[in-house]
Structure 1
Amino acid sequence: MNPPAVVAVAYSGGRDSTALLHATLQAARHSGVQVAALHVHHGLSPLADDWLAHCQDQCDRWAREGLPVNLLHEHLHLKPGRGQSIEALARTARYAALRRLAQQAGAGIVLLAHHRRDQAETLLLQALRGAGVAGLSGMPAVAERDGLTWARPWLCQPREAVEAYVRRHRLPHVDDDSNDDPRFARNRLRLQVWPALLDAFPQAEATLADAAAWSQEAAACLADLAALDLAALQAGARLQVASWRALEPHRARNALRAWLRGKGGEAPTAAELTRLCDELPGQSPATWTLKTGVLRRYRGWLTFEPLCDQGQAASAPPREAVVRITRAGRYALPGWGGQLVVRRVTEDGVALGRLGQLRLAPRVGGEQFQAGAGRPARALKKQYQAAGVPAWAREGPLLYDGEQLVFAPGLGVDERVRAAKGEAQVSLEWVPQAAAASEPARPARKS
């Protein structure tokens, strides 16, 4: 397998990242691989400009020595809100910036300089926050995320080995003054707790890192178990409450946690999970507002709708008035908050030739929909009720060919526009953006 043409290294200018960048450059010197040093200027420290200048000078010196390095940087303008964690804000923004820089450099992998002490500290912090097995797993050595590989090649190396490497090669580096600020949890642990812990337990770094590795294995086993259980519980985007209740309590909690994490990208808190396990077995329609979205129970099924980002909602584009469908595929309608999925079918579809210019409109009342052959056209509201389509599944545009209703979200194609046997035809499905985010879409043509 050929090595990647470009390898990226997250480079703050500190001791650890300087050592990793230098080691990567030595390995790449005669391999034809280019190394992109990625520097994120957070805009939080008055010394941040000096750190960027140091990184640029260092990379320029290495380049003059023939090492294959190029520095890319991005300046953030972070403004923490009242009560917002600066640590969390900076971490989220930093990884987003690193992703953008890596993509700009054409790199498929980003190397991070975390070592064994960092892993041990992460496990302790997660334990003190009441984390479960996934949190106690610490940082993975390799992870695939956002189309990139994120790797920590020194995660099993002790901090002393990194320090020795820096001394041996006489590598200049910067010291972040914020590392001495006890307002930050990791700094308090590092400055006040860690020295006493090592004094009492000299092998703490290695044993805690081993515990994180065991937790990673346990988390992987739980994920596999959840996947097996969810295969029997899910139907599309929904989860069946009765089948979920039939599981043993610990498996039910594990499956629900995994299902919600897959829907919202973040696991529920322990308090949220306990509450849900107590309240979900009911029968009547119900709604729960969680940190990452809204969970709903309707006719024995659960659905989850992630919360929309308020900034995105404020800048939502205007609703499209027309969509032109010429072939199967996905047609993005960002103004309506989703995609129209068009699939080739051999029966029960609508003629493709009828979809050259469809009008999009919201429900206003009085619309008529025919659900099947031989059935009368009835009010759309009554058709939704008869089909058991919950209110939140009715959202999306109605599609008209002239004045004839062609398609209604949650119900499908109107019987009056069904294609004749043997005619080229397609099915239509409305998919909200939250459910369609991971799949590519064909932009809709606007009038």
Structure 2
Amino acid sequence: MAATATPRIAENDLVAVAFSGGLDSTALLHTATRSGARVLALHVHHSLQPQADHWVAHCEQVARDFGAAFACMRLSGAPAVGDSIEAWARDGRHRALHDMTVEAGGDLLLLAHHRQDQAETFLLQAMRGAGLAGLAGMPRAQWRDGLCWARPWLDQPRALIHAYAAHHGLRWIEDPSNDDGRFARNRLRQAVWPAFPAAEAGLVQAARWAQQANALVAEIATEDLARLVRADRLDLAALAQLSPARASNALRAWLATHTDAPASLVERLLAEWQPGATQAWPAPGGALHAYRDGLFWATPTAQPPAPGTVDLSRPGLHPQPGWGGAWLVQAGEPGIAPLRLARLTQRARAGAEQFQRAPDSALRSLKKACQEAGLPPWRRGGPLLFDTAEQLIAVSGLGMDARAFAEKDEPALSLRWLDDSALPQREGVRESAA
């Protein structure tokens, strides 16, 4: 299903509605209950207002009057010192709405955002110096974590919603925090819209243009990354051949698959990268490494586990907790005799190991073998496998040592290491019961 496609609502389908009890969500809940669908009103108790308990009771009664089911979740904790109350409440509300909808078995959540909300979002993002993604504002529909967040009234003026509520005699909550001038949106409503009443439509149109432009740059990034990315490596030399704007766009798109990178990191990386150099940049949740003109993402590495034994004598996927990956064992040649794999010692690199890539290749120090294979320095720590005679069997990232290969016509199993990041991409691989 397309990322912006809203599920069709059939009779008896479950539709969740984010229901604060205010004018907009009350009108939306009312219209949803007249659609023939099974409607679930979802209320989030933020614990920020003394009237919050009263609002829960009000919302439950209104939902019952409309014929909707009702669920409520109370947020725990509080904003940290210096954190934005708005951001804390928004993040917690989104988590709660997602969890309640999924728990009820639904995949569609309706939100009552309207045209003025979209105009405010565009203006606030512009004042923060946002790029196209921020200026695009709120999408009409967006799938996130198996749930469609839909805003059916995004093009409707608030006056029309108010007229609908008045016509049907609806009653709603007036949140006193909406008049609090500490919050940016409230200051816009108090100062900007009265002074520029016609600005709303123009700002919403600007958000639509930003949405189109953002979709276009996403398409260009997808095309560029198809040429620039191989496995987990971004080709920095090829990236540098693009125009500055296009290179920045492609890099941001690639980084977004790994981390929430600030714009300053994108700018630094493009300016500081040196062809042929080994470099690193810290990033939220990990680090970026430039090696042999490729860019790699690496999560923080923990202390390697203590040496231990492992049985790899059966085909399958053998996860190795603490090592960040799994051994994939399959029948095939070249390979190693199954009996030899029944009791292996698994440990980190010590520094004096030697490795033979193929039967006709020279024996190399492990460091030299890693360099020849182009294995980045941060991936050379192991695990390594040794048999009961302390002969090297396999090295993560390099593969099997040729000295351990089974004789011709002898049963053999091949070993290959898979990092955790690669495991979800391998559908249908059976996990070993070992």
Distance in 2 (CA, whole Å) between partners of 1:343 and 1:134 is 43
Alignment match, 2:164 = 165
Counterpart of 2:399 in structure 1 is: 412
* Superposition deviation, residue 119 in structure 1: 0.6
AA aligned to 1:59 is: A
2:35 is paired with a residue whose SS is helix
Q: Deviations over 1:311-364 (max 9, x none)?
A: xx9xx9x889566664445x554533x332627574445567765665543334
Note the alpha carbon deviations across 1:357-407, whole angstroms, 9 max, x for none. 655433344444332223455543343234332222235533455445443
Residue number in structure 1 paired with 2:218: 223
Kept in 2, the 8 Å contact 1:319–1:335? The answer is no
Matches within 5 A, 1:204-219: 204-219=199-214
Letter in structure 1 aligned against 2:42: L
The equivalent of 2:34 in structure 1 is 26
- Work out whether residues 396 and 430 of structure 1, in 8 Å CA contact, stay in contact via their aligned partners in 2: no
Closer, same or farther in 2 for the Cα pair 1:418/1:215, shift >3 Å? farther
| Kept after mapping to 1: 8 A contact 2:315/2:432 | no
Q: 2:283 corresponds to which residue?
A: 290
Give the residue type in structure 2 aligned to 1:48: A
**2:18 corresponds to 1:10:** yes
Deviation for aligned residue 1:438: 7.7
SS at match of 1:274: helix
Rounded to whole Å, the distance in 1 between the matches of 2:97 and 2:426 is 23
| TM-superposition CA deviations, 1:296-319 (whole Å, max 9, x none) | 1111111123579xxxx9xx9x88
Given that 2:307 and 2:348 are in contact with CA atoms closer than 8 Å, whether structure 1 keeps it comes out as no
1:81 maps to 2:94: no
Q: Where do 1:246-261 residues align within 5 Å?
A: 246-261=241-256
Q: Alignment length, in residue pairs? A: 422
One-letter code aligned to 2:417: E
Greater shift, 255-264 or 435-444, is seen at 435-444
Residue of structure 2 in register with 1:35 after alignment: 39
Residue in 2 aligned with 1:394? 380
User: 1: CA distance between counterparts of 2:89 and 2:161?
Assistant: 24
Question: Aligned partners of 2:300, 2:85: CA distance in 1, in Å?
Answer: 23
- Which one of 316, 326, 333 corresponds to residue 340 of structure 1? 326
**1:107 counterpart SS class:** coil
**Counterpart in 1 of 2:124?**
125
Alpha-carbon spacing, 1:327–1:210, altered in 2? closer, same or farther (3 Å): farther
| Cα displacement (A) at 1:289 | 2.0
1:376–1:261 distance in 2 versus 1, CA, 3 Å: same
The separation in 1 between residues aligned to 2:159 and 2:321, in whole angstroms, is: 52
Contact 2:333 2:412 in 1 (8 A): no
TM score, norm. by length of structure 1: 0.83
Give yes or no for contact 1:260–1:268 (8 Å, CA) kept in 2.
Answer: no
Secondary structure of the residue aligned to 1:263 is coil
Q: Which amino acid aligns with 2:155?
A: C
Amino acid at match of 2:270: C
For the residue of structure 2 that corresponds to 1:335, the secondary structure is coil
1:431 is aligned to 419
Hey, what does 2:4 align to over in structure 1?
Answer: none
Q: What RMSD in Å do the two structures reach over aligned CA positions?
A: 3.2
User: Which amino acid in 1 is paired with 2:395?
Assistant: A
Report the equivalent of 1:238: 233
The letter for the 2-side match of 1:9 is V
- Give the corresponding residue for 2:5: none
8 Å Cα contact 2:399-2:417 kept in structure 1: yes
What is the distance in 2 between the residues matched to 1:395 and 1:168? Answer: 70
The structure 1 residue matched to 2:355, chosen from 369, 373, 376, is: 369
Q: Which runs of 5+ in 1 are unaligned?
A: none
Counterpart position of 1:55: 59
What's the offset of the Cα at 1:86? 2.1
Q: Is the 8 A contact 2:225 2:250 kept in 1?
A: yes
**Please, which runs of 5 or more residues in structure 2 have no aligned partner?**
1-7
Aligned-partner SS, 1:295 = strand
1:39 Cα deviation from its structure 2 partner: 1.7
Q: What does residue 3 of structure 2 align with? A: none
Q: Confirm or deny that 1:385 pairs with 2:371.
A: yes
Identical-pair percentage: 45
Structure-2 change in CA distance of 1:164 and 1:432 (3 Å): same
Q: Cα distance, 1:27 vs. partner? A: 0.4
**Structure-2 separation of matches of 1:384 and 1:51:** 63
Counterpart for residue 142 of structure 1: 141
Tell me the residue number matched to 1:71: 70
- Aligned 8 A contact 2:315 2:331 in 1: no
The alpha-carbon deviation at position 121 of structure 1 amounts to 0.6
The residue identity in structure 1 corresponding to 2:282 is T
Contact 1:294 1:307 in 2 (8 A): yes
Q: Matches of 1:439 and 1:21 in 2, distance apart? A: 43
Q: 1:343 to 1:172 in 2, by over 3 A?
A: farther
Cα distance, 1:233–1:327 mapped onto 2, change above 3 Å: same
Deviation at 1:175, TM superposition (A): 2.2
Is contact 1:361–1:397 with CA below 8 Å preserved after alignment? Answer: yes
Rate the CA distance shift 1:394–1:16 in 2: closer, same or farther, 3 A. farther
Structure 1 residue 288, shift from structure 2 partner: 1.6
